[in-house]
A and B are shown apart, each in its own frame.
Chain A
Amino acid sequence: MDIYERFKTLNSRLIRGENIPFSEGIKGLSHPSGTNRDKPLAYPAIAIYAGQGASHSWLWFVDLFDRMGLYDLCFLTDTTLKENGLRGIDVLAMSGGDTFAIAEGLGKSGAREIERFIRSGGLYMGSCAGAYLPLNSSKPFLNLFNYVPAKITNLTRSLPTALRLKEKFCTSYGCSFIFHPVRETVELKTNGFAPFGKPKTLLAPLYGGPPMILSDPAAVLARYTGFTDHTLFLVDRKLAEETVLGTAAVIRKKMGAGHFHLYGPHFEHPRFPTANHLMAAAMYWDLRRGNPPCPRTDALQGDAFLSKKSAKHFIRAVKREISNARIVAAGLEMQPVQWTIGNKVYDPGKIRVFLEAIWSRLGVLEKAPRLCIQPGQDGATMRHTASLTSLVRATKRDSDQGRNTPDLARTLFSELSHSSMLFLDIYFRTQAYHFGGIHEA
């Protein structure tokens, strides 16, 4: 059984309300000592941020949670987060993207909501941009989120020479720049603090996440210790070593009754099982409550269902449009275009990442005995996926004619994100409903 199946089995028991202590439920880690060892585990209600500024990497969190049987998921935008979206949520997962745009989108009221959420016991899991967001800063919007007194070592006033990937190399930060010395796989070592267990070396991918310095050594769960054959150097190797190695890669910080878990590298990336394992273990360790009760999964029982005929129609309609869009996206993948949206560069390959997130889950819905939706959600999903086809076709036509149209790309990416959220919401509702056999006919 791989780690994902182990977590899935565990979660199928948790969703039924079984009482399982951390030390029994989380296998494969040398057991950390600490007060939470004997705390009963809970089946968490998780929110993934996919609003303004989020890149496609929130889908990695989706994959991670999906593979582990964590189906009590919802998706928040900057707007819905501010409108009480964190109510009933245990974990807020904030992935990569454009930190400035995220901060701007969330603004003061978003910051207040997040603070309230954590102080009342919520867990904030941030990776990459999600890790930068709560670090102390003096810059407008970012300074609304000054919760963690860590410094970053990749801030400079004079930029070093970029060896490659100029568009992904740096972001301006007032009169300074945040630069990214390396990308791709790096080596890390855990410090032996709970909840990560005994010190161990592991790999994780870095796509612009922070190398951090913190005065409290106990808050540092892992440090950057080395590079690998797969590390891509964007600056001179020596400078990369000086900037990154030895700094904090993962930190855990308490605020009120809750915690921040901040990951420089993408621990949620689907190809890094050890990092995935640690991230999930840490999440259970700092969950605000134990099982039972499980308020949101109880609420799931009240969900609406689509009739068999409507479900068939719905799946067919979504499949048709996603197939159409996917076909064009595969063609676009062969074209030399890319767009800058906010501070981030997008290339056409990313269109496929969203489409695959929907496509790969259609089969599960096709086989599900019942589809769970909120009223009107099926119609909205069908409308949005249909507009995806026209947008991606228009993008392809533009690119064929040598036109680079960032506005169209912006609309396309926002529609991709929106459609994915709508669809995945139905998917996870349906999965949660059928999971653990609690609603067997």
Chain B
Amino acid sequence: MEYLASDKIAIVDLGSGDITEEELDEDLVLEKIGGVGITQSLYDRFEGEDPIVLGSGLLTGSLVPGSALSVMTAKSPLTGKVSHVPVVLDAGIEFKYSGFDYMVIKGTAQKPVYLWVHDGIVDINDADEVWGKDVWAATDYIREFMGDDLIQVLGIGKAGESGSPLATTCINYWQGGDRLGFGTLFGQKMLKLIGLRGMGLLEIAEPEDFVEDCLALVSTIKSGPLKGKKGIAQMAVTLGGEDIEDWISPLIHRHMACFNTPIPTNSFVFLDEDPALLEESKVNEPGMLLTDIHPLITLKKMGLSAKDACQVLKECAKYGIDAAAVAELSEKAGTTALEDMVKSFPELKGPVDSAGTSIFSPWAMVGNQDRDTWERRQAVSYILGIHPLFALMTSELTEAKLLDLASLGTELELTQETLDEVVAEVSGKS
């Protein structure tokens, strides 16, 4: 596969330590397009070996607005279904530029390890120094050891290490979009984290037309109904969800976008620093990045102050436990004190409604979405590599437009028919 791809699939056997590589066959792309289309087929191929499959979408890392998404496909310990979670912030594109399009992680390591994926190389490294560390400390360690602050880390904390069914895979310091317990799978595999850094290059089949089309899309989106929208609270309102803006906004420092996503869907709150500060804070860990609206809504309902709610989320992110599940179970148990919630982390167990019933992480199930439309939009985003929340908000990103871009970028004829087939297949409706 020559365009918009590194043309490489890594198959990592944690049990034997073997790493093999395969080319990304153009026929596979013609048949399955990319993203979950291909992670699903790789999952099926290695099903007997409990794989976690990491993959990027066809348009991930390009100039198409919202092209931030990579995905992980595995069997969710919470729903029992083969499911998909989004890899957002800057981790999705870091994987795309790391020299691999897909990576199958199979088997179980004999002792804790981490994967270091860089420029087309996968190293399985001893995790002695990071196992036992919380998510933040582990990210700090890897970045310092490898010597680069831009390394993106997909990792687990104590929750995943200790087998909590609610363990989530975090991105750097923050909770990502994994509501399906993939952190538990990492822990079972003795896989502490995946460090990603790539300085690759993606060739484009028709660069000028492709880029012009992307620029035209940016300009339409910028002047459309999303103009000026920013932050986690406004995004929820835009999608018909609960309005928590007044409650959270006094803490907000800045709004942050995932890679090339025109709407910043994340908000950074300062908890130990003045949110209005413009200069660099002297406090080492002044706050945290909010990426998921659901736990905030629940905690607000429970009567927590915005600051306490954000503290809960910060502790969850460090421990690597899904904050939405924690909020839900705390609400059910009537636990409202911050310390009690944190103390309860080791004992918390499912089942939880926060895992949803879809094969896509319900992280992007914000507001009152029509279920079928939502599923379809998720599937399309997860195949092409578009931020799933952004895709829900952006009608300008039509399937036809995305397919056009995919064809321009790759020189392959990718039709609506193929997309329909892949969507049906990943949704189990074929």
Contact = CB atoms under 8 A, between A and B. Distances in A.
Interface residues of B, number: 15
Interface in A321-357: 323-324, 326-328, 330-332
A393 B146 contact: yes
Contact of B119 (A323, A328, A392, A397): A323
B160 to A, nearest CB: 26
Contacts of B123: 320
Contacts of B150: 331
B144 interface: yes
B121 A328 contact: no
A393 to B, nearest CB: 4
B148 interface: yes
Contacts of A326: 119, 199
Contacts of A400: 144
Contacts of B146: 324, 327-328, 393
B183 interface: no
Contact of B147 (A316, A320, A396): A396
Interface string A362-395: 0000000000000000000000000000001100
B197 interface: yes
B118 A323 contact: yes
A319 interface: yes
Contacts of B197: 327
B202 to A, nearest CB: 15
A330 B199 contact: yes
A323 B121 contact: yes
Nearest to B98: A323
B148 A327 contact: yes
B199 A324 contact: no
Contacts of A328: 146-148
Contacts of B148: 327-328, 330-331, 396
B31 interface: no
Interface string B178-217: 0000000000000000000101000000000000000000
B146 to A, nearest CB: 7
A397 B118 contact: no
Contacts of A320: 121, 123
A216 B118 CA distance: 57
A331 B147 contact: yes
Interface string B144-168: 1111111100000000000000000
Nearest to B19: A316
Interface in A385-426: 392-393, 396-397, 400
A393 B143 CA distance: 11
Q: Chain A binding site: helix, strand, loop or mixed by DSSP?
A: helix
A324 B149 contact: no
Interface in B88-130: 118-121, 123
Most chain B Cβ neighbours within 10 Å, of A319, A323, A330, A396: A323
A328 B147 CA distance: 5
Nearest to B145: A393
Contacts of B120: 319, 323
Interface string A49-72: 000000000000000000000000
Contacts of B145: 393
B147 A327 contact: yes
B144 A324 contact: no
Interface in A280-332: 316, 319-320, 323-324, 326-328, 330-332
Given A320-B123, A397-B144, A327 B118 contact: yes
B11 to A, nearest CB: 16
Interface in A15-69: none
A337 to B, nearest CB: 13
Contact of B199 (A316, A327, A392): A327
A330 B146 CA distance: 12
Contact of B121 (A316, A330, A392): A316
Contact of A393 (B147, B149, B151, B199): B147
A433 B123 CA distance: 32
A219 to B, nearest CB: 46
A392 B197 CA distance: 17
Contacts of B118: 323-324, 327
A375 B123 CA distance: 28
Most chain B Cβ neighbours within 10 Å, of A327, A328, A330, A332: A327
A31 B144 CA distance: 59
B158 to A, nearest CB: 27
A197 B351 CA distance: 84
A420 B145 CA distance: 24
Contacts of B119: 319, 323, 326-327
Contacts of A397: 144, 147
A393 B146 CA distance: 7
A331 B118 CA distance: 14
Given A323-B119, A328-B146, A328-B147, 11 more contacts: A316-B121, A320-B121, A320-B123, A323-B121, A327-B118, A327-B151, A328-B148, A331-B148, A392-B147, A393-B145, A400-B144
Task: Please provide the 6 A-B residue pairs with the shortest distance between their CB atoms, ordered closest to farther.
Answer: A328-B147, A323-B119, A396-B147, A331-B148, A393-B147, A320-B121
Interface of B: 118-121, 123, 144-151, 197, 199
30 contacts: A319-B120, A319-B121, A320-B123, A323-B119, A323-B121, A324-B118, A324-B146, A326-B119, A326-B199, A327-B118, A327-B119, A327-B146, A327-B147, A327-B148, A327-B151, A327-B197, A327-B199, A328-B147, A328-B148, A330-B148, A330-B199, A331-B147, A331-B149, A331-B150, A393-B145, A393-B146, A393-B147, A397-B144, A397-B147, A400-B144
